[in-house]
Amino acid sequence: MTIAIGLLVTLGCLLGGFAAMGGHIMVIWQPWEYVIICGSALGTFIVANPIATIKDTGKACMEVIKGAGPKERDYLDLLSVLNALMRALRQLPANKVEEHIDDPESSDLFAPYPKLLANKNLVTFICDYCRLIIIGNARTHEIEALMDEEIQTINYEKLKPYNSMVTMSEGLPALGIVAAVLGVIKAMGALDQSPELLGKLIGAALVGTFAGIFFSYAVVSPIANNIKMIRGKQLRLYILVKQSLLAFMNGAMPQVAIEHGRKTIPSYQRPSIELVEQETAAGGPGPGAAVAEAA
């Protein structure tokens, strides 16, 4: 929604200001200049990136349009699952806990949270480190170093769409110049025509420079910045898991351990302690009841 509003404001001010100066808006409508610029940008984007990154960039753009960053409900679901798993690690035999982490899709600890289950990478991250806790041979600082390394790798992968969009944004002004040069070449072939026609051709050529700069700084660059922000918010989920499990490994009770995780949530989305306690209350609905019954 904010993207649409921002583009409307930008275009309104740009076109309105141009018209107020006495410019003819139809002069800016040069569709083949836009085809040259946008088509060349898309082509170089395809050349510069592997198929996986191209697909992920499309996914990232859809996330921006939908505003797909984690919400308070997502954090509450994650805290509830972590609380249930840590309680299970304390109360249940290792083989019982392994049943949950080996097949989370069939686990009654994960079942109440289908949206979390849909995030396969995050669920795998949780289950892998719970499995290491069950093994019990790794020290806390070793697990922390391993988590940091994996989170850094995840961050690198998540920001590939951002980096590719920034690269395309940086190239668009140059592609605008290319389109403008092609327009000038066309105008030079019409030097024998009337000054009015020649002026129109030169004006059309200059639209290429305008369009390249506009698409770069008013469209692609803001979208890239949004991708970076949303992917950064998604990474907070992994950091929340890391801090909660490390606190648990250092001897904290599950309810205290998830408080370590809660503190990593941005303040404008962070649920209150009371709300988290209500969601994760022992014996309550969902996974709390499942663990209590199994124990």
Q: Is residue 117 part of a domain?
A: yes
Residue tagged 């390394």 (tokens): 149
pLDDT higher than threshold 60 for residue 265: yes
Which domain does 175 fall in, by range? 30-295
Residue ranges of alpha helices (H) inside the chain are: 2-20, 31-48, 51-66, 72-91, 94-102, 114-118, 120-135, 140-158, 160-188, 195-214, 221-249, 254-262, 273-279, 287-294
Q: Identify the pLDDT of residue 191.
A: 76
Alpha-carbon distance of 172 to 213, in angstroms, equals: 7
Q: Is residue 147 part of a domain?
A: yes
pTM: 0.84
Cβ burial, residue 21 (10 Å; 0-12/13-18/19+): exposed
Q: Identify the pLDDT of residue 21.
A: 87
pLDDT higher than threshold 80 for residue 89: yes
Q: Identify the pLDDT of residue 27.
A: 82
How many separate domains does the chain show? 1
Q: Is residue 96 part of a domain?
A: yes
Q: Is residue 157 part of a domain?
A: yes
115 or 200, greater pLDDT:
115
Q: Is residue 70 part of a domain?
A: yes
Q: Is residue 13 part of a domain?
A: no
Q: What is the mean pLDDT of residues 86-114?
A: 90
Alpha-carbon distance of 196 to 22, in angstroms, equals: 17
Mean pLDDT, rounded, of the chain: 88
Alpha-carbon distance of 194 to 112, in angstroms, equals: 74
Q: Is residue 21 part of a domain?
A: no
Q: Is residue 93 part of a domain?
A: yes
pLDDT higher than threshold 80 for residue 286: no
